[in-house]
Chain A
Amino acid sequence: MSDNTNDQEIKKENSNKKSDKKNKQKGPIRLEAIIPVVVVILAVFLYFKFLFDSNLKSALEFGGTQVHGAEVNISKIESSFFGAYFHLYGLAITNKEKPTHNLLEIGQIKFQLVWDALLRAKFVVEKASIENILVASKRAKVGYVVPPTPPGEEPSGANKALKEVESKVLEQAKGDFDQNVLGDIANILGGTNSDDQLNKITSELKSEKRINEIQKALDEKKLLWDKRIKELPNQKELNKINTQIKKLKFNTKNPKQFANDLKTLDKIIKDADRQIKLVNSTGKGLNKDINGLNASIKEIEALVNKDINDLQKRFKIPQIDTKGFSKKLFGKMFQERIAGYAKYIEMGKKYMPPKKTASEKQPDLIPSKRQNGRNYNFSRKKGYPLFWLKHAKISSKAEKSEFGGDLTGELTNLTSSPTTLGIPTIFTLKGDFPNQNIFGIDANLTLDHTKDEAVDTLSTSIKSFPLGYKKLSSSDSVEFAIREAHGRSEIKGVMKDSKIQITAKNYFTKLKYDIASNNKDIKEVLTNVVNGMPLVTIVSEATGSWSDIKWNINSNLGSELSKGFKKQLQAKIDEARKKIKDYVDNKINAEREKLTGEFSKVKSEIDNKISKSKKQVTSAKNKATKDLNKNKAKNKAKKNLEKKGKKALEDLKKKFKF
C-alpha cells in the first residue's frame, strides 16, 4: 500500500517537473529557430558549393541547344558568389548541317564580375577572356540536332519567336530556290509530253472561274439597269409637259391670268430640272457600274497570264534566264545563311533593346494594385545596366591543333541596356586557321542600339578558305555539285530597325565538280561550261524586311549554264509554253468573247437610252424656259408702257393745273 502511495507521489512529482519545464518562461529570442535557420543557410551554401555549377551547366546546355537548333555542350562551369567570377570551359556548338563536327569550340571563357555592381543587383564584367577557339573540330560523339517542328504544329517555349523568324525567311521564295532546275531541264529534254499532262487537268482555271462570275454579275446588273432606265421620264411624260405648255395663254389683257400662267410655266421648268437631274444621276450610277464591270473584264487578261504561269510551274518548265538560273543554283545556300543570321539578330534586339518609341512607351492599361507614388532621383554617381560586359579579349593560338586558330579580337560594351550606356557594342576578330587553310579572317560587327532606331553593321572578309562539298542541284536525273574549291568571301550587311541589306560576294577558284546525269546532253553542257570557267563568282543580295526579302543572286556560272542550255532548250520550252497558252485560250476564249460582246452591247444600249432621255428632257425644258422668258419680257414691256402712260397723264394734269 505504502509502495503504491510512493509510486503515485513520484509520478506526480515527475508530472509537475514536466509541467514546470513546459511553463518555464521563454526568453525574447526564438532560440529554437536557430537550428532550422542554420540548416537552411547550410543547405543553400552546400547547394551553391556543389550543385549550382552543374545545374547551371545543364540549363545553359539545354537553352543553347534549343536556341541554336543543335547540341551545345559545356565541359565545366566554375562560379563563385564571393569570388564574383564565372568560368566556362569547353564550349562546343554542333554544326547543324554536319553533326559529326562542331561549328565552333571555345576552350575557356572567363568573366570577372564587379562586386560594387553585384551589390546593386547588376552584373558588370570588367574584363573577360575568350581563349582557344577551334572551328569545325570533330566531335567525340555525333551531336543531337533539334528536329524541325512538324507542319501544322507550333514551336513551343522561348524558342518559338526565334524559330518563327528563321522559318519566315526560309519560307520565302521556296519555289525559286528548289535546287531542282537541272532536273526540270532533263525532263524537258527527255521529252515529257505536255499534251498528256494538259489533258489530265480537270480543275477550273482561275480566269475561267472569273469569267463565269462576271457573266453572272452582268446578268444580275442587266435586270437592275433595265429597272432604273424604266424609271426615267418617258415620251408620254414629255408630251404631257408640252401639252401643259401649250395650254398656257399668256393673255396680257388679263393680268391675273397672265401671272398664273407665268407661275405654272415656272413650275413646269422646275419639274423638268428635276427630271434632268434624275436622268443625270441615273446615268452616273450606271456608268459607275459599267466601269466597275469593265475593270473586272480587264482583270481577265492578268488572270490568263497567271494561269499560264501556274501551268508552267506545274509542268516544271524552267526559266532559262541568267538571274533565275543563278537563284535556283545558289539561292538556298545564301537563304539558309541569312535565316541563321536573322535568328541571332532578333535575339540581339530582344536582349539589347533600342530606345522605345513614344507609342511603345505608353503604359499598359492595367491599374496598379496600390498607388505608385513618386520616385525621386538623386544625382547618380555610379549607375550600371543590368548586364554590361565592358571588355572581352579574344585570343587563340593554333599551335599543333588541327582545328585551332591564331586569332585576336575583342568584344566591347555588350550590354542589356545600350540606351543607358550610350555606347555601341563592337566586335572585332582577326586571324587565321592555318591548319584548315583558312586565312585572312577580318570580321567587324557593330551593334548600335543606343538610339530610337537600332543599326547593326557587319563587315566580314575571308581572304582564302577551302570549300567542301556543296550540292547545287539534285534530282533523280541530274546531280551537280562542287566537290572542292578555294574561296574568297566578302560579306557586308546593314540592318536598320527591321530592314536589312546584306551583300555577299564569293569568289571560287580551283574548282572540282561532281557531275552525273542520265541525259547525255545535260552532262555535256554542264561539263563544257564548268571546264571553261576557272573562276566562279556569286554575288548575292538580300534587301527588305525579314518577312519580305528581295533576293538578287548573280553568278557567272548560272549565267553561262543558262546560255548553254538556252540553245538546246529554248525551242522545246517555247513549244511547251505555246501549248499551255493555246490550252488556256481555247478553254476561255469563247466565253471571254461572249462576255465582252454582251457587255459592249449592253453598254451601248444604256448609253443610247440615257443620252436620248437626256436630250428629250433638256429640249422640253429649253422650250419652256424660252416661253417663260418671252412672256416675261412681254409683261415687262406692257408694264413699262402703262407706267409711261400714267406718268404722261400726271404731267398733263400738272400742266393744266387740275
Chain B
Amino acid sequence: MTLLLKQIFGFLKLLNSDTGTNQLASGIMVGFILGMTPSFSLQTLLVFVLLFLFRIQIGAAFLAAFFFKFMAYLLDPTFHSIGSLALEVDGLKGLYTTLYNLPIIPFTRFNNSIVMGSAILSIILAPIIFILAKTLIQKYREKVLKKFQESKFWKVVKATGFYKWYAKYDSLYG
C-alpha cells in the first residue's frame, strides 16, 4: 500500500513538474491496456513486466487502470462484438487452432470474445491514448499549472515555513 501511495504521489509530483511527459503518457497508455483487459492473463503479466522494465510511470499506470476499468464495463458489449468478429474470420481459423494447441499461448485466453475484442481495441487505441495523454499533460502544464503557480494563493503557500521545510525535505530525500 505504501509503495502504491508513493507511486501515486510520484505521479502527482511529476505531473506538476516540467519533466517526464513521456513517462506519464506511457504510464497512462499502459494503464489503459491494463484497464481494458477483463481478467488476469498472460498478457497482463507481460504488461507488468514492461511496466517494471521500462521507465514508465507506475502511479500513472495504476491510476489510469483504475479509471479505465470502470469504462471497460460499458464497453464489454463492444469488445464482445469485435472479438467475435475477429474469432469468426474463416481465414484465421487455422491460425487460431494452431495457437490453441500450442503450450502457454492458451493462457492468454485469446479464444474469449471479450479478451480478444479488448486486446484489439486497446492495441489500436494505445498510440492514440499516448498522444492524447501527452498533449493533455502539456496543455495542463501550460494552462492550468502555470496560472496556478502565478496565483496569489500559491505565492502565499510558498512563503510559509511549512512549504520551505517540505521543499528542503524533498530536495534531500524526495
Interface residues of B in 110-151 (CB under 8 A from A): 111-115, 117
A370 touching B53, Cβ below 8 Å = no
> Do A376 and B111 touch across chains, with their CB atoms under 8 A apart?
yes
Chain B positions within 8 Å of A365 at CB level: none
Provide the A111-129 mask, 1 if CB < 8 A to any CB of B, else 0.
0000010011100000000
Stretch touching chain A among B8-16, B59-67, B93-101, B159-167 = B93-101
Give the shortest distance, in Å, between B56 (CB) and chain A (any CB): 8
Contacts of A374 in B (CB 8 A): 80, 84, 112-113
Separation of A206 and B106 alpha carbons in the complex (Å):
69
For the complex, give the distance between the alpha carbons of A373 and B72 in Å: 13
**Does A33 lie within 8 Å of B53, measured CB to CB?**
yes
The residue that A119 contacts in the complex, of B73, B103, B114, with Cβ under 8 A, is: B103
B91 CB, nearest partner CB in chain A, Å: 14
Q: Is B76 in contact with A376, judged by CB distance below 8 angstroms?
A: no
Chain B residue numbers with a CB within 8 Å of A33 are 52-53
Q: Is the CB of B77 within 8 A of A380?
A: no
User: What chain A residues lie within 8 Å of B93 (beta carbons)?
Assistant: 378
B79 CB contact (under 8 Å) in A120, A373, A377: A373
Complex CA–CA separation, A378 to B105 (angstroms)? 13
Over the window 377-396 of chain A, the binary record of Cβ atoms lying under 8 Å from chain B Cβ atoms (1 yes, 0 no) is 11111100000000000000
Residues of B close to A120: CB separation below 8 A: 103-104, 106
Q: Which one, A24-32, A500-508, A557-565, is touching chain B?
A: A24-32
Q: Pick the contact of A370 from B73, B83, B84, B111 — CB < 8 Å?
A: B73
Best-surrounded residue of A37, A375, A381 (most CB of chain B within 10 A)? A375
Cβ of A371 within 8 Å of any chain B Cβ, yes or no, is yes
Known: A119-B103, A120-B106, A378-B97. A371 touches B77 (CB 8 A): yes
User: Out of B38, B104, B107, which one reaches A373, CB within 8 Å?
Assistant: B38
Let me know if A380 and B38 touch, CB within 8 A: no
A374, closest chain B residue (CB):
B113
Chain A residue nearest to B84 in the complex (CB):
A374
Residues of B within 8 Å of A116, CB to CB, are: 103
B residues in contact with A375, CB < 8 Å = 111-113
Q: In the bound complex, do residue A376 and residue B52 qualify as a contact, i.e. CB atoms below 8 Å apart? A: no
What's the nearest-Cβ distance from chain B to residue A89, in Å?
A: 31
List chain A residues, Cβ under 8 A from B112.
372-376
CA distance A377 to B80 in the complex (A): 16
Q: Flag if B80 contacts A28 (CB, 8 Å).
A: no
Q: CB-CB < 8 A to A27: which residues of B? A: 55
**Is the Cβ of B96 less than 8 Å from the Cβ of A30?**
no
CB neighbours of B52 from chain A (8 A)? 30, 33, 37
Q: A376-B96, A378-B96, A381-B101 are in contact. Are A371 and B54 (CB under 8 A)?
A: no
B120 nearest CB across to chain A (Å): 13
Measured between alpha carbons, how far is A381 from B98 in the docked complex, in Å?
9
CA distance A33 to B52 in the complex (A): 7
Residues of A486-540 at the interface with B, using a CB-CB cut-off of 8 Å, are none
CA of A375 to CA of B113, assembled, Å: 6
Query: In whole Å, how far is A378's beta carbon from the nearest beta carbon of chain B?
Result: 4
Docked CA distance A372–B39 (Å):
10
Known contacts A370-B72, A371-B76, A373-B115; is-contact A29 B54 (Cβ 8 Å)? yes
Give chain B residues whose Cβ lies under 8 Å from the Cβ of A379: 97, 100
Residue of B with least CB distance to A115: B103
How far in angstroms is the closest Cβ of chain A from B36?
A: 11
Decide if B114 touches A371 in the complex (CB within 8 Å).
yes
Assembled-state Cα–Cα distance A212/B54 (Å):
89
Tell me whether B55 and A26 are in contact (CB under 8 A): yes
* Docked-complex contact B55 and A29, CB < 8 angstroms: yes
Q: A119-B103, A378-B97 are in contact. Are A371 and B80 (CB under 8 A)?
A: yes
From 1 to 49 in chain A, residues with beta carbon under 8 angstroms from any chain B beta carbon are 26-30, 33, 37
Assembly CA distance A376 to B52 (angstroms): 33
B106 touches A30 (CB 8 A): no
The residue on A at minimum CB distance from B101 is A381
Nearest opposing residue in chain A for B51, CB measure: A30
* Contact for B113 among A370, A376, A378, A382, CB less than 8 A: A376
Please measure, in the bound complex, the distance between the C-alpha atom of A33 and the C-alpha atom of B77, giving whole angstroms: 39
Give every chain B residue within 8 A of A29 (Cβ-Cβ): 53-55
A121, A373, A378: the one within 8 Å of B114 (CB)? A373
How long is the Cα–Cα vector from A116 to B72 in the complex, in angstroms?
A: 35
Contacts of A26 in B (CB 8 A): 55
Q: Most chain-B Cβ atoms within 10 A of its Cβ — which of A26, A120, A374, A378?
A: A378
How far is B104's CA from A382's CA once the two chains are assembled, in angstroms? Answer: 13
Residue of B nearest to A383 (CB): B101
Query: Once the chains are docked, how many angstroms separate the CA of A646 from the CA of B115?
Result: 103
- In-complex Cβ contact of B101 among A28, A370, A376, A382 (8 A): A382
A23 nearest in chain B by CB position: B19
Smallest Cβ distance from B143 to chain A, in angstroms? Answer: 25
Q: In the bound complex, do residue A378 and residue B100 qualify as a contact, i.e. CB atoms below 8 Å apart?
A: yes
Chain B nearest CB from A530 CB (Å) reads 67
**CA–CA, A347 and B9, complex, Å:** 52
Q: What is the bound-complex CA distance between A37 and B72, given in angstroms?
A: 31
Chain B residues with CB under 8 Å of A381's CB are: 101
Which residue of B38, B52, B103 has the most chain A CB atoms within 10 A of its CB atom? Answer: B103
With A372-B114, A373-B113 already in contact, the answer to whether A30 and B101 are too (CB < 8 A) is no
B100 touching A373 by the CB < 8 A rule? Answer: no
- Closest CB in chain A relative to B171 CB, distance in Å: 9
Could you give 19 example pairs across A and B, Cβ below 8 Å?
A: A28-B55, A30-B53, A30-B55, A119-B103, A119-B104, A370-B76, A372-B114, A373-B80, A373-B112, A373-B113, A373-B114, A373-B117, A374-B113, A376-B87, A376-B96, A376-B111, A378-B93, A378-B101, A379-B97
> CB within 8 Å of B: which residues of A?
26-30, 33, 37, 116, 119-121, 370-382
6 closest A-B pairs (Cβ-Cβ)? Answer: A119-B103, A373-B114, A373-B113, A378-B100, A371-B76, A378-B97
Having A33-B53, A380-B101, one finds 11 other A-B pairs with CB under 8 Å, namely A26-B55, A29-B55, A370-B38, A370-B39, A370-B73, A371-B80, A373-B115, A374-B80, A378-B96, A378-B111, A379-B97
